[in-house]
Each structure stands twice: as C-alpha cells, then as structure tokens.
Structure 1
Amino acid sequence: MALLVSLILAICTGPGLLESSSTVRLVGGPHRCEGRVEVERKGQWGTVCDDGWDLKDAAVVCRELGCGAAKETPSGKSYKPSTDKGQKVLLQLVDCDGTEDALLQCEQNEDVFDCSHNEDAGVVCKLPESVRLVGGHGRCKGRVEVKHQGQWGTVCKAGWNLSASKVVCRQLGCGRAVLAKRCCSTATQGNGPIWLSQASCSGREVSLQDCPSGVWGNHNCTHDEDTWVECEEPFDLRLVGGETRCSGRLEVLHKGVWGSVCDDGWGEEEDQVVCKQLDCGESFSPSVKVQRRFGPGVGRIWLDDVRCSGDERSLEQCQHRFWGYHNCNHKEDVGVICSEQ
C-alpha cells in the first residue's frame, strides 16, 4: 500500500504538471481586460513569451479573467513596463486550442530558454459591461448602475466613498475619479431596482463587484440616494487643421480640455505612435517641421519633452513632463502627417 501511495504522489506531482494555484493577469493596459500577460508561479509573477502566441491563447486568458472575446494579441512591451526589475519570463511555447477555462490547462513550457521581455505576450479582450454611468455628459460621468440577473439597477450612496469611485472609473477605462455633487435630481435619479448598498471598496479592487457590500437587492434606500460618479475623460488625441483626420496639428485631451503638444525632442518615433494610435498607417511627416502648415493652436499646451520608443500603443504611455508644464509657445506646436493606410 505504501508503495502504491508513493507512486500516486509521484505521478500527481511530476514536473510536467502545473500547480492548481497558478493565476493570470493583464498589466499595464487601460483596464483589467487589456495589457501584458503575467502569470504567477510559486508566488512569483512573470511574463509569457509570445512565441506561438495567438488569438486562441488570448481567448483562454480573456475567459479566465471574466472578460469578453479576445480581440488582439499586441506585443506586451507596448504597455507600461513592470516596476519589478528582476521579473522573469516564466512561460514559453503556450499552445491552447481555445476551449480551455484557464491558461494552466494549455500545453506550455516552463523551461524558458530564448525569450526576453522584448517578446512578452499581450492581450486585448472586450471589456464586459457590468457597470455604467448614466445621465451625465459622456460615458465617464453619471449615475452608477450595475447589471445583476440581466437587469440594470442603481447603487445606494450609503457607505460610498472616493475609493469606490476610483474602482468604477478604472473599471470603465476612464480617468481618475473626482469629487462630485451628490445624486440626484428628479431628472437624473433611477427608476428601476436598487441592487447595491454599503459598498466598501479599498480602491484596489478590479471591479465594483469585487468590493464588500450588502446583500444584492437588500437595502432600505430610495432613488433619492442613488450614487453619482464623475471621472476624468480618458486620454485621447486628434489631428486638426489638415485635409483629413490623419494630418494636422496634434492635440491631446486632458481633464476634458483639448490642448497642443510642444515639439521639443519630437521625432519619428513619436510620429509613429500617433499614427498607430489613430489607425492612420505610417508616419509621412517630412524631416522639417510641419506645424506651420497647420497653424498654431490656442489655449493649453499640455505636453512637452515627449519621448517614445515607437512601440507604445498610446502617446500617454510615452515619457513626458508633468501635464501642463512646459517652456514653449504655440509656434512650437507639433504637426503630424500620416499615410492613412
């Protein structure tokens, strides 16, 4: 009997099998359903090599995280780098058929031999709609509503604080939470079920549903106590003054206000990031400055001393001075011309 038990233990703990405690996360993206793929092995978080990585592998990650369908498999190095300088590449040659419920169920190699962080895998999943802001201007301001049992309902302000607002703003891919007026007027209050009350968030939760709260649907609130949240609008950019949307003076959106970008240090890598983010193909900007062609901007100059590697998916991920800090005037506004393909 002892020999049989020893054989069983040897089989169950053999080197080819992964521990059931393994987990996965997406890091550095705008929300929990997009970013660089990281896995946990023996208490250590590390990345996944993109050798052979495809949408089938991404679909498993999206399913495991409770996100929507897999949309893209970008390079993981296009997201904000890890602050852990000793982080390792922990997996290589992942091969999923796309039906697995977790990444640990896929074939994979933990003996990483020829991958660096330049080959980290990334995933973009569709963000599932389980919370929304209603009644405000834009999707980042309004009455908080959550989806439960297939029906949208409101959240009572009892127990609500700024940490809970931070979770909602992050979950929606909006900017930071700001202090806001209390909800609601007759025109903006809800009229359906009140699903949630006594939400107690630390601010670090991935979603509002992860916060401790009272029993769903059990409360003593009225719609006069519906919760209202305001987030800064997410980062956005545009080209203005050109013949098409893919050429013009560069403007970025910050705190709901459009402003220009100073050309100090601006070059080909920065042009490429802008064109990529706008889905406008490659940069066609000539070597000479092009901003005079599109005229000077007015109002705020938001960014200065921007430095990109060219791999970033968003200009926001590039290095730059603090928002609004610069030594420029509008004669130095950046202009960009893209191929539109």
Structure 2
Amino acid sequence: MSIAIVVCRQLGCGSTVSVLPGNTTRGFGVSCSGSEPSLRECIRTNELRPGLTVICSESVRLVDGAGLCSGRVEVKSNQSWASVCEADFDRQDAEVVCRDVGCGAPAALQGGLYGEGEGQTWDKEFQCKGKESLLLYCDTSDRENNTCPPGNAVGLTCSEPDDVRLVGGGSRCAGGVEWYDQGEWWTVGAADWDQRDVAAVVCRQLGCGSTVSVLPGNTTNGIRVFCSGSESSLRECRRMYDLRPELTVICSESVRLVDGAGLCSGRVEVKSYQSWASVCEADFDRQDAEVVCRDVGCGAPAALQGGLYGEGEGQTWDKEFQCKGKESLLLDCDTSDRKNKTCLPGNAVGLTCSEPDDVRLVGGGSRCAGGVEWYDQGEWRIVGAEDEDQRDVAAVVCRQLGCGSTVSVPPGNTTRGIRFYCEGDESSLRECFRSYDLHPGLTVICSESVRLVDGAGLCSGRVEVKSNQSWASVCEADFDRQDAEVVCTEFGCGAPAALQGGLYGEGEGQTWDKEFQCKGKESLLLDCDTSDRENNTCLPGNAIGLTCSEPDDVRLVGGGSRCAGGVEWYDQGEWRTVGADDRDQRDVAAVVCRQMRCGSTVSVPPGNTTRGVGVFCYGSDSSLRECRRMYDLHPGLTVICSDLLVQPDIYLTDPMGGVFRGHQGPEMFRGYNFTITCSTQPQYPGGSFLLTFTSSNRTQPAVNHSAAFLFPAADDSHQGNYSCVYENYVFSHNFSSESELLSLTITGN
C-alpha cells in the first residue's frame, strides 16, 4: 500500500483505491514509507518480486488527511488538482468520493477540515445522486457563486472500509473477494467444494442479493476461508493462512430469492434504499419472473405464486415492474407507481426457477461471450478442450445458447477445465464426449445477433438475424454492401466477396421485417440503424447469401477496440497468439499497428501468456507476413495503437425534431434554436466531447457516450463547419478521434 500511494501521487492519479496481487516474478523489489513524492526516493533492490498492480482514483484525491480515507477533497482539472468549495459538495457527493477511493460511508464533511491547499478551486458544483461508483460519472453544473471564501475548501473523513470487498469486476457486487485484516487487504480463497458457501456469505454481507456465479481464481495467494453458507459475514467463518486459489464472485446486486430450497427458488426481494423489500404478487408477472431467473443465473420460471415462500419481515416494494422479459437484469426493467398501495398478507410473491441450462458463458460482458462453463453434479465446471478441438466445441456452445455463429476462440488461461471432444455439428454439449482430465479453459465469443448458415465455413452462408428469440432470413432488397461489411467485420472475416439472393438457399423460418441502414463502420450489426421495409414481401430466391473474404491474418482482441489488445495471427485455419522477445516487441507492434491501419504504436504492455508463436520483425515491414516467425512459444504480445477510438458521430436537431447529419449540409432559420449532438460507440466509460466550430469551441463530458450542445437564437455567427472531437484517457494515455464535418448555413430574415 505504501508503494501504491507513491505511485498514484507520482502519476498525478489521485488516491489509491486498490492494490491487487501481481501474477509475475519479473518485478524489482521496492520499499517505500508512503510519503515519498516518487519511486526514485524509495529503496530498491534487483531481486525479483511479484509484480504490483495498482488502481488509483484518477479523478479525485483526499489530501493532508490521516490516511487513505480522509483529507481535503481535490479533483482533476486540466491535468492539475483543484480544491472543492464546501457549498458545491454535499452528502451524496461525499458518498461517491468515499466509494471512489475504496472507503466506507462519510463520517465527517466540513469546510477547512484539512486546510486550504495551494492551487485553484474547482469551478463546478457536483450533483451526484449518491449511487455512482466514480465521481467522474456524476453530473455537474456551473457554480452560482464564483468565489470560495477562505476556510471553505471541503474536507472529508470516510469511515474505514468494510472488512470484505469485491474488486476488478466493474461493480461493488462483482469481482475478486478481498478481506481487510491487520491493516491490509488480503485475497480470499476457498476449497472447490466450499466456494459457493463462501460466496453466499460474501453477497449477503455486502447486501448484494443472491450469488449468480463463482468463477475460478488464478492465484494461490489467498487466505483460506471455510463457511457453512448461513453466516452473516466472513468474520463468523473459520480461516487459515495457508494458500488457496482466490475466489471471484458475481452477486445479483438488485434482487434476491429468500427462504427457498436453493439458488433458484425463494421469495422475491428487491433492493430499496439499501434495504430489502418483498414484491407484491399483483406487481410481478411472468415476464418479470423471466428476468429475475436470468439475473440470478437460473433457467426459466417454473412456479410463480404469492405466499409460496412466506411473507418476510421488511417493507413491501412500492412499484410495479414492467419488464419485457428480454432484459438481462431486473435493474434494466421499467417500473410504474402501484395502483394499489396495499399488499394483503399471503401476497409476497414467491418464485421457483428451473435449474440453469447446463452451459453458459461467463465474464465476457454478454450471455454470448466469455469462458465456457458446464453444469454438472450440482455445480458449474469450466470447459476445456484441446487446441485442435476448440473451434468445434465453440460451434456447439454458440448453437446451444442460440447465440449465432462463432466469432472468436481466444486462448484460455486456466488448466482447471473438464475436457470436451465435439464434431462441431452436435446440438448441445451433452452429445459430445467428455473426460475429467484437466485442460486449458475455453473462452468463446459468439456473434449473438447474426449468423451465417449453410455456407462453406466461418465466413460464408445465408444471413440470418435474431428476431424475438428465433432466427429470420434477410431479404436481398433490405441488405447492401455496407451492411455486409459490418457482418463480415463482426465475424472477424475480411471484406465482402459475394452478396446475392439465394446464394445459400432459403431457410425454413420467417423473414426479417426491417431494412438495415449500416454505415459500414459499425463493429456489430446490432449497432446499425434500421427502418421499416417498403415492401412487406420477400420473393422466393431472395434470402440474401454472403461470402466474406478470408479474414485478415492479424487482429487485436480483448482490448475493447479493434486497435488495442492481444495480437493474433491467422495461420493454418485458426487464430494463433503472437509472441515476441522483449527486445523485438516494439518492432512487431509497429508492424501490427501499420497493418491494421491503426496509426502508430502507443504502448506495448507485458503479455500474460506463453502460448504465442514467436515473430521477429525489423519494424519497417508492411505486414506480419513479411516478418520471420517460429513456432516455439513466446510471451503473448499486447499492443495499443494510437487510433484506438472509433470515429464519433455528429448531427443537428432542429426545433421540429428533424435530424441532419454532416453530409446533408443543414440549413437553419435565424432566431430558431438548434442542438448539435456528438456521440460515439460505447467502447470505454467516461471521456469528453470538444465541439469545434468557426467562432469558438465548447467542451462537455460524455454522458452515456454522447453530449448535446444547445444553441439558442441562430444568427450569422453560427454559420460554418462543426466537428466533434471525442477525447478519453484510457490505458494510461490520452486518445482522441474526430468526426466528419457538419456544414451549417443560416438563412431567412
């Protein structure tokens, strides 16, 4: 923790949020007191130590306090730090800051509590709702008073953090389990047979609902914990300091099933103002039940009835759920005020979900992407496969889940998987042969919304899209070259080579009832606009068939962008991880960025696998095909290129609701207001938009990946060219991307 504090301070990254266990022995030993301004002032040795991983708060820090959880609140402003005025900061803002720096609830909030600071004062007022996970996610407004009298720089004392937390999962209710003991956070591990009991206690202690998933850990640095599953906190469990694989837990967060027979049954309770409330039978229907069963990782609803699992002792939820049944989380459903404010005794709704499907994908951010798990003997087990059999197993998994075709099979990172053998044409994993010897865990990415059927391989077939949980063919008249480019990209294939109705037969199901309007730059067909079809019939022989060229022989995966991630090279019909010696990594990275048309190399983070095919480049080569390669194993290469961000979109909305994009050259009457909106695809959270135009520039933070700039009373000064520049700080670097121009003309008297 002392070293981490110095690192965050030296980088200007705020306070330390978390120190995660390292997974390499390539680190130099460093010893710090925590007060040093940089690592140069710490003692260091050349002996090898496990690598240190640090998460800093980035946007906020607590300064001149007694420890990690107290100090004067300062926020990042134009790469410098600014104090916050007491008048611009309230209890809800404090709750977010305490959460952002990894501490407990606010205990004290007062101007001048930790001095004044020497820099500028923040020029905005925070408007947090209190539930945001980062201060960056809060709204702000202009300050009513531009001065901050002396003694008003707000100081904050947060309570010490709870003695259990989940880290690295993108939510306080998901991630690796850590336990606070003897002044530091320790990784929690458990024996295989005890993991679900420990996970149940963790979710209960954090107030995070029921356990959805228990993922395998990848380190032996954990404190061993034994629980029966009924304890209220980890403090009541037995623990030993021998090493066990760390425990990763995903909790449902917003809903739980209570007093049932297992994970998949119980009285439905939802989170309401940090306490749990029963749901009245009249406010909950079959579609709501489908979402809850999915949320807690179970199968379809089997029974739904008031009083089925008792009444509970707390309050009753005061809303009516209006789920459509397709949402992945109950939090995503709409709600409305209840028509009847009372819920009679015996009406607290109980739910029994069927046992979950025997295959699922976890950790990939979607039900159609992630590590493969198979339900066996009452628990989820990792699925592994030999290298030569991985794609066949992946094809079966995508088919069984109704997730389209296989897009990618990234390399696995564990040897705990049950071994599967498939031909590739089976309808489910139950039809494949399996053995219980251990193999690398299999990770699969399926297309989810589109598939190519009856073709010769991964990159050809009849185009079918997901429609109301079934698959529909696409009519030739509703699908053009730009749509085809998106589909080929989604499958990891090359450019479209053939596009024709009837090329791969007709199919037996329905026909898609929309026309696609892709621009060709989208990464997923789901991101494309659609419109109603002009003609509601599709004549026989017009189901569109598509042949994509074989994929480029290099790609970057797992980095959230086509221009960042682990390097893979297409060879002998499969994607192989690319590795390189330390001295050659930057030359190889330069070739990869050039070949991918992704600009120049920004960073080459260390790889985390030894499964890479060795590649040697001079750096001036135009593609990896020109480099020498060997099939001995090298650490996998990860590359971040400068053109990381996709091009943002820009459009103008007039008072009548008309929308005009850049190439349309909109006209606006004098005196009318208009709005210019900048937006981008959801690659990374946060960031900001700079709207550049003839007379001046304006900047707004990106909220839900967009920003709207309002212009009242148009006049001649508004005429000219506008563009949006999206800026974001990711992977420890600043990146930007500029939209096309929007040319505005002002007309009228």
Bigger radius of gyration: 2
TM-score relative to the length of structure 2: 0.20
More strand by share: 2
- Where relative contact order (Cα < 8 A, 6+ residues apart) is larger, the structure is 1
